[in-house]
A and B are shown apart, each in its own frame.
Chain A
Amino acid sequence: MRTRALSPEARLRGPTGMDLWPLLLTLALAGSSDAFSGSEATTAILGRASQSLQRVNPGLGTNSSDKPTFTKCRSPELETFSCHWTDGAHHSIRSPGSVRLFYTKRITQERPQEWKECPDYVSAGENSCYFNSSYTSIWTPYCIKLINNGGTVDQKCFSVDQIVQPDPPIGLNWTLLNISLTGIHADIQVRWEPPPNADVHKGWIVLEYELQYKEANETQWKMMDPVLSTSVPVYSLRLDKEYEVRVRSRQRNSEKYGEFSEVLCVTLPQMSALTCEEDFRFPWFLIVIFGIFGLTVMLFVFIFSKQQRIKMLILPPVPVPKIKGIDPDLLKEGKLEEVNTILAIHDTYKPEFYNDDSWVEFIELDIDDPDEKTEGSDTDRLLSNDHQKSLSNLEAKDDDSGRTSCYEPDILETDFDASDMCDGTSEVTQPQRLKGEADLLCLDQKNQNNSSYHEASPATKQPSVILAEESKPQPLLIGGTESTHQAAHTQLSNPSSLANIDFYAQVSDITPAGSVVLSPGQKNKAGISQCDMHPEVVSLCPDNTYFCEADAKKCITVAPHMEIESHAQPSFNQEDTYITTESLTSSAGRSGTAECAPGSEMPVPDYTSIHIVQSPQGLVLNATALPFPEKEFLSCGYVSTDQLNKIMP
């Protein structure tokens, strides 16, 4: 059904419902006819429908309100004025002129206000009232009101000097001022006359003018500043274009402008043939092209130049961060184990990604048994070992680390050879480093002052225990609770013979059962139990510097070994933040039972097999040597997680 949409402003008022029936009927007919006839008939019907609508509601679409309201009062020359209003909705119903305007001048407050009717409803057009000069008083307040059927519908107060809107200027013309040397631009002078009804010559009204101009095919007018004179120059017009000019005026110090004058067409004389055809436009395009070309050439010269100096100047190498102790190649190749090991050297390392449960911390024991230790033999043994390089897996290419023990740069190996052991020489230097850095534990047999283990435990008292008293007590904990976060590296070094003060023992293998098989040592060494530190155990093994976790009884039973076992006291490098299974080296004569052995004078085996790998807090060692387990091995005192996982049942 095609119907013309009614204006949203249309309000059906006034007419009763009866009046609407013709409209509705017409619309219905229009709709129905649409189905049968062509569009022409429909349009005709719709036209009639709209006409009937208009008759019913004459204000439809023209006035949103049904009341007459003032639209504007205006004085063009400060001598007369007129007021206009909108027609209400009922105009056509009633006789024209039913709306009346009354005015009053409020001169003084004493005079009673008389409302007088509009003197002229005609001169200013429909729905207006014109006040000629005899009715106009300037600088006098007026009040006007519209009365419709006896009721005031609108009222307004003003004074004439505030409603001045002059007529448009007349007589626009232009003259050519000059033409530029290039023959492209010209200046013109535009003149006009003030509106004729404004008496500017006597000074009664002062007008200012605004000129606007534009090219003939443009839509946007350019505005000039208001001027008081009636002529103004317009500069820099192009000779090959046509322009349009218009002017409007307003009373000086007023805000409202009058209407625009008629548009003046300015057709400038054509250019002569001798003039330039184009403006000089800056050749941005060429400059850009050449600039890019030159830069490219220079860039290529520098890039391919063999002159390193120039290259350095232009493209200086970016300094890369250097991490102490870590070979960047390790990081690249993703060898996390080695990286972790290296990082574990530092105090703050926390290998959260390791399986804590399987992580074993080892105590480094420095066995200092001058009676039994034969320094030379152990060292010699170590020195002859070719597998020391396993330690170097951990540390590669770090010149700054200063750690040479167990580490040799540039050798990366993930496999742990059973026979790997720390280099004796490196061992020697170990203690110093241990002092300075948390190091992978390679026991330094030479260093009698190896780091001592402090973990809320008394210092080692056993003379056989070689513990380096470090200034900084840092708990290296075998199964120490606080060392869980520390990378525990078992450094299994080849234990020297008991006679030699074995600072370390080399774990040759690890049994699936969790025992660590140490490389053949001379003597049987007491298993060093890597135990948790438990105060209660301490009580049982008062002499121990470390405590067995589950083998408290062993502390007692192994009392004879205790003193040796004291070696097993974790010879912690105070600064080491991890524990190595130094117990292995401890020449404490463990006999396979994990125990906290106080330091004893008994010779301790070279190695201790790990009896139980417990929680990260503990590693219980067996003193008995067991056949070599499979090949996964620890080198230089640390156990990789994989290996530990294998160890664990």
Chain B
Amino acid sequence: MSGCPRGSTNCQLSLTELFNRAGLIAQKFQTAAMDLYNEFHQQYSGEQGFLSQGIVPCHTALIPSPVTKEQAQSYTNEQLLGTCLSILRSWEEPLSHVLTEARKLPRVSRVILSKIEDVEAQNMHLLQGVQKIMEQVRPGSVAENQAYSTWSGLQRLKSTSQDTRLHGFHVECRCVRRDANKVNNLLNIVKCRMDPSGGC
């Protein structure tokens, strides 16, 4: 993978290179989210009370994003990238709260905490990467306020009821896994559009 030479300033990586890197980080982001979900359910599988509380929509559900292939193909690159940015940005705050509240979980293992940290880190890296790509694709667009969802899940995480708390964590783990998958997918679409020969 080519990169900027050491010590150079104003070096601009090619778009292809940026996409390659973003693609790798998105992969890690998705893998980390999947691991977190699995680890959480493995740890607290005995307490199934939280699963019966029904499906709660994710806080990023309202961010406009394609839900079918046809829709995705109708989005422009900037739209797709903007969606990714919105999603990634929407997760910055919730992930930090998830980490804080997870430390208060009963019998929380170091593994879960490290996986939450991993997800948080990849989210941040991917956000920066996609911002860089956005800068190149549409200069100046990043400065605009990208819509992002507010998060109301903190109440659940701080609930006194253990079932509610675990349900809250379950919701966040499920949602971040889903969103990582979505971002990874959308970025790949843009990448294959821009570089069809690169493994698409």
| Chain A contact residues, CB within 8 Å of chain B | 78-79, 106-109, 133, 136-141, 143, 157, 159, 161, 199-206, 228-229, 252-253
Contact = CB atoms under 8 A, between A and B. Distances in A.
B196 interface: yes
A203 B68 contact: no
19 contacts: A78-B69, A79-B69, A108-B57, A108-B62, A109-B56, A109-B57, A138-B68, A140-B67, A141-B55, A157-B55, A161-B182, A199-B69, A200-B200, A201-B192, A203-B191, A203-B192, A203-B193, A228-B199, A253-B27
A157 B55 CA distance: 8
A341 to B, nearest CB: 74
Nearest to A160: B67
Interface in B143-187: 178-179, 181-182, 184-185
A76 B59 CA distance: 28
Contacts of A133: 68-70
B79 interface: no
Contacts of A229: 199
B181 A203 contact: no
Given A203-B191, A204-B189, A107 B68 contact: no
A204 B185 contact: yes
B178 A203 contact: no
Contacts of A139: 65, 67, 178-179, 181-182
Given A133-B68, A136-B68, A139-B181, A203 B189 contact: yes
B192 A106 contact: no
Nearest to A159: B178
Given A137-B67, A204-B69, A204-B185, 19 more contacts: A79-B68, A109-B56, A109-B57, A133-B69, A136-B68, A138-B182, A139-B65, A139-B178, A140-B67, A141-B55, A141-B57, A159-B178, A200-B200, A201-B200, A202-B200, A203-B185, A253-B27, A253-B31, A253-B184
B73 A202 contact: yes
B61 interface: yes
B84 interface: no
A253 B57 contact: no
A143 B67 contact: no
B181 A253 contact: yes
A139 to B, nearest CB: 5
A107 B200 contact: no
A137 B61 CA distance: 12
Interface in B11-48: 27, 30-31, 34
B107 to A, nearest CB: 26
A140 B178 CA distance: 9
Q: Is the interface of A mostly helix, strand, loop or mixed?
A: loop
Interface residues on B, range: 20 to 34
Could you say which of B62, B185, B196 has the most chain A C-beta atoms within 10 Å of its C-beta? B185
A203 B61 contact: no
Interface of B: 27, 30-31, 34, 55-57, 61-62, 65, 67-70, 72-73, 178-179, 181-182, 184-185, 188-193, 196, 199-200
A13 B84 CA distance: 56
A199 B73 CA distance: 12
Nearest to B186: A203
A273 to B, nearest CB: 45
B55 A106 contact: yes
A202 B75 CA distance: 13
7 A-B pairs closest in CB distance: A203-B192, A203-B188, A137-B67, A141-B55, A203-B189, A106-B55, A204-B69
Contacts of A107: 57, 61
Contacts of A157: 55
Contacts of B181: 139, 161, 253
A206 B200 CA distance: 8
A205 B68 CA distance: 12
Nearest to A108: B57
B65 A203 contact: no
B34 A253 contact: yes
Contacts of A253: 27, 30-31, 34, 181, 184
A79 B71 CA distance: 11
B57 A106 contact: yes
Given A161-B181, A203-B200, A138 B67 contact: yes
Nearest to A157: B55
Contacts of A138: 67-68, 182
A206 B188 contact: yes
B68 A143 contact: no
B72 A204 contact: yes
Nearest to A134: B68
A206 B55 CA distance: 27
Contacts of B67: 137-140
B101 to A, nearest CB: 21
A161 B178 contact: yes
Contacts of B61: 107-108
Could you say which of A136, A143, A204, A205 has the most chain B C-beta atoms within 10 Å of its C-beta? A204
A135 to B, nearest CB: 10
A108 B190 CA distance: 28
A212 to B, nearest CB: 23
B91 to A, nearest CB: 14
Contacts of B188: 203-204, 206
A632 to B, nearest CB: 86
A201 B193 CA distance: 9
Contacts of B191: 203
Contacts of B192: 201-203
Contacts of A159: 178
Nearest to B195: A203
A202 B193 CA distance: 7
B197 to A, nearest CB: 10
A200 B65 CA distance: 20
Contacts of B57: 106-109, 141
Contacts of A203: 185, 188-193, 200
A228 B27 CA distance: 13
Contacts of A109: 56-57
A200 B179 CA distance: 20
Nearest to B66: A138
B168 to A, nearest CB: 14
A199 B69 CA distance: 9
B184 to A, nearest CB: 8
A141 to B, nearest CB: 5
Contacts of A199: 69
A530 B67 CA distance: 117
Contacts of B189: 202-204
Nearest to B33: A253
Contacts of B31: 253
A200 B67 CA distance: 17
A159 B178 CA distance: 9
A107 B65 CA distance: 13
Contacts of B190: 203
B34 to A, nearest CB: 6
A590 to B, nearest CB: 93
Nearest to B196: A201
Could you say which of B27, B57, B73 has the most chain A C-beta atoms within 10 Å of its C-beta? B57
A228 B192 CA distance: 15
A262 B164 CA distance: 49
Contacts of B193: 202-203
Contacts of A161: 178, 181-182, 185
Contacts of A228: 199
A533 to B, nearest CB: 76
A109 B55 CA distance: 9
A107 B72 CA distance: 18
A202 to B, nearest CB: 6
